[in-house]
Structure 1
């Protein structure tokens, strides 16, 4: 397997934020992210309006199971067929499914079953879409621009949350769930022609997955590539520890803190906004700078500092200090996460990148969320403070891994 990477047919070395090819990809990705957020708002609204709270919760969770079970296979598909084709196909399926449900809700009131089916379809498609999205940036820009692209991608994600949630709420308020689903479908549809216009570099023939090999063999080869790699293996472990320690405090802990301290829903919202602003600032920094030296060291030190900030968050006395601490955590986690993604994309052999991204996504989106009910249960038994400290320690272990493995500690991003 060649590790030289990509076909000599080179793309422009223009900085990513001025490269029309990258900007077309960014516009497609942003439109898709806004559409995704509108979809989730529409799904939650329709589920709550149609069924009981427990039934709505089951509908919202229905996409998680196929996404977790199929994510590794999705990485094989992304590598076999190419990330751009897979992303285009995924967006087309998601668009068609959302518009079909919008039309169904417009003419009748069918109950919860179409919402559950839609959630399962989205989860299944996400299992393919997410590895392909992660594998696409190295095929549209030079290696030296990947950190900047990660920053741009982070800004697109934040924009999707900030704009998509109000749009979804406005659509549901004006035209009900059918209108909100229709808006989501149209936004996802916008991404398809933009993606078709994006140019990508093809892999050399000897770097492509052979059609005569089984999917199981391809999956084992991808896992073996990670296991044998001096940087990827410890990097995956560091990312996994960071995600396992971060998900509980962000998604459950802030709510519990706001309730215990009397901050109310508005206080909780401001703390969550602090996370988002900090992460957005990190993305903006990487977009402007394009590259940070000593990437491995920064990953380790930001993991350490972020873990301390998570532990401190549980003991701040008022909401203003909590927002400031959340902003710091978001900044540190945003820097660490973006640099980890850039290292993953530059260290992995391009032919394996879909499978490498799938393993990373399985931990982040499949395993780490399972810690949320555990976090809530232990918080109820032992109190919020000790559980925050334990979560912070798990995050800190990611920094220990990054600092103790010489190959990862000395890892650099290409110029």
Structure 2
């Protein structure tokens, strides 16, 4: 599993992502409770969260083309610097007590714009850092690192929110972005030849669209995640903290729930480091079905231990999907199209997130917090089942390594 770290460029990329995730895992819970400190309205919280996700949906396609044109490491470095500056600005306002909702909306929107441009580059960089036969161990190693950081981050952030306020965790996140950009200087990727460089992005976007629409399993899963992500972000990530703050769960309990989810990532990551994942999308979507359990639990009880257990199981399922999806993309999409394919994937998956973030606050006011979360969890399970009705999703196999008899075509 550690073999990919022998590759110098992957090693520096791994260190860069590790540092970045230290802050990022703290920032999510810190921003939520920073908003709730300014206003206890679930609608206000949904507005700030949507301010991050709307620019992501708008600029994702441009991010895919930019990554393929200018180099993935260069794009990630620039975006890390800009994201760090916006987070430090938010932290300064929160720590000083001068933050207002519109401040958070504007700065979070800028942060979301930068994130949207960097996401396709991050998603498409791994195949350029390691040999093809090390894709699974490289992805597992990154997942284990992410899971480890995500276990610690929310719990530490929950303690900081209670002890000194949410602004300090946001400040840590801003600083880690800048350090991550510096570490990425050690990653070297040979420039890829581009034949017939075009001034307009439209032909390149059209090529990416043709790959997306021509790959049945790709667009079917993305279509499903349009609904799944809207439900998760609206019900669990927007209404969940509001319910936690007003119940026995509390801010620290919410941090423990998110850490339990990350512990599920870690445990399943360790399992997958020993198991070759065949039928990556079949097992991946079955895993996503488990992620409906935390919403069902939160919609029926405020017993922290019950929700923690459900979050742990849900996290295990998400980790199976995460690895399965990365392998499906990296093994079946040509490298020169990968960032653009990921950008269409991300656009389709994220485009409805702002709808969920904005809609679930008013829905909770009308129908109640727990009732709304419960219905969202049940609908989540139904959507997963519908995606699995696609034969292309259920039967997609692992691609053989180049030179292996029976190797699957790429592209």
Q: After superposing the two structures, state which structure 1 stretch, 343-352 or 108-117, moved more.
A: 108-117
- Give 1:118's aligned residue: 107
1:234 shift after superposition: 3.6
Q: Secondary structure of 2:322's partner?
A: helix
Distance 2:61 2:353 in 1: 16
Q: Superposition pairs for residues 5-404 of structure 1, below 5 Å?
A: 15-40=3-28, 43-44=31-32, 47=35, 51-54=38-41, 57=45, 58-99=47-88, 109=98, 114-165=103-154, 180-206=169-195, 210-237=196-223, 239-240=225-226, 242-243=228-229, 246-247=232-233, 250-251=236-237, 264-265=249-250, 271-286=257-272, 288-289=273-274, 291-303=276-288, 320=305, 322-368=307-353, 370-371=355-356, 377=363, 380=367, 385-401=374-390, 404=391
Question: 1:120 aligns to what SS in structure 2?
Answer: helix
> 2:392 matched to which residue of 1?
405
Task: Note closer, same or farther for the CA distance 1:374–1:47 as it changes in structure 2 (3 Å cut).
Answer: closer
Residue segments in structure 2 that go unaligned for 5+ positions in a row = 402-411
Structure-2 change in CA distance of 1:411 and 1:244 (3 Å): farther
Q: CA-to-partner distance for each residue in 1:42-76, whole Å, 9 max, x for gaps?
A: 65565555x44459634454222222211222112
Check 1:234–1:179 CA distance in 2 against 1; reply closer, same or farther (3 A cut). closer
Report deviation, 1:219: 1.4
Please give the per-residue CA displacement for 1:149-208, whole angstroms capped at 9, x wherever unaligned. 3323333333443444466567778887775554333211111222111122443434xx
Q: What whole-Å deviation, never above 9, does each CA across 1:92-142 have from its counterpart, x for those lacking one?
A: 222334446667888995866654442222111111011111111111112
Deviations 1:195-229 (A, max 9, x none): 111122443434xxx53241122212211111113
What is the CA deviation profile of residues 239-288 of structure 1, one whole-angstrom value per residue up to 9, with x for unaligned ones? 5465456555643676799799x8644766655444332222222333x2
d(CA) in 2 for partners of 1:292 and 1:141?
A: 19
Contact 1:90-1:129 within 8 A present in 2 as well = yes
Contact (CA 8 Å) 1:47, 1:56: kept in 2 or not? yes
Q: Is the 8 A contact 1:72 1:362 kept in 2?
A: yes
TM-score normalised per structure 1: 0.77
Q: How many residue pairs get matched?
A: 394
Report how far residue 88 of structure 1 moved: 0.7
**Per-residue deviation, 1:336:** 1.7
* CA contact 2:223–2:349 (8 Å) conserved in 1: no
Offset at residue 388 of structure 1 (A): 3.0
Describe the shift of the 1:337–1:245 C-alpha distance in structure 2 as closer, same or farther (beyond 3 A). farther
What is the distance in 2 between the residues matched to 1:267 and 1:107?
26
Cα RMSD after superposing both structures: 4.1
**Aligned counterparts of 1:354 and 1:108: Cα–Cα separation in 2:** 40
Please give the secondary structure, in 2, of the residue aligned with 1:211.
coil
Q: 1:276 to 1:177 in 2, by over 3 A?
A: closer
Structure 1 window deviating more from structure 2 (39-48 vs 84-93): it is 39-48
1:203/1:326 Cα in 2 relative to 1: closer, same or farther (>3 Å)?
A: same
- CA distance in 1: counterparts of 2:173 and 2:114, whole angstroms: 16
CA contact (8 A) 2:286 2:317 kept: no
Are the equivalent residues in 2 in contact too, given 1:222–1:352 (CA < 8 A)? yes
Which stretch of structure 1 is more off in the superposition, 332-341 or 288-297? 288-297
Residue 361 of structure 1: how far off its partner (Å): 1.9
Shift of 1:326: 3.4
Does the residue aligned with 1:205 lie in a helix, a strand or coil?
coil
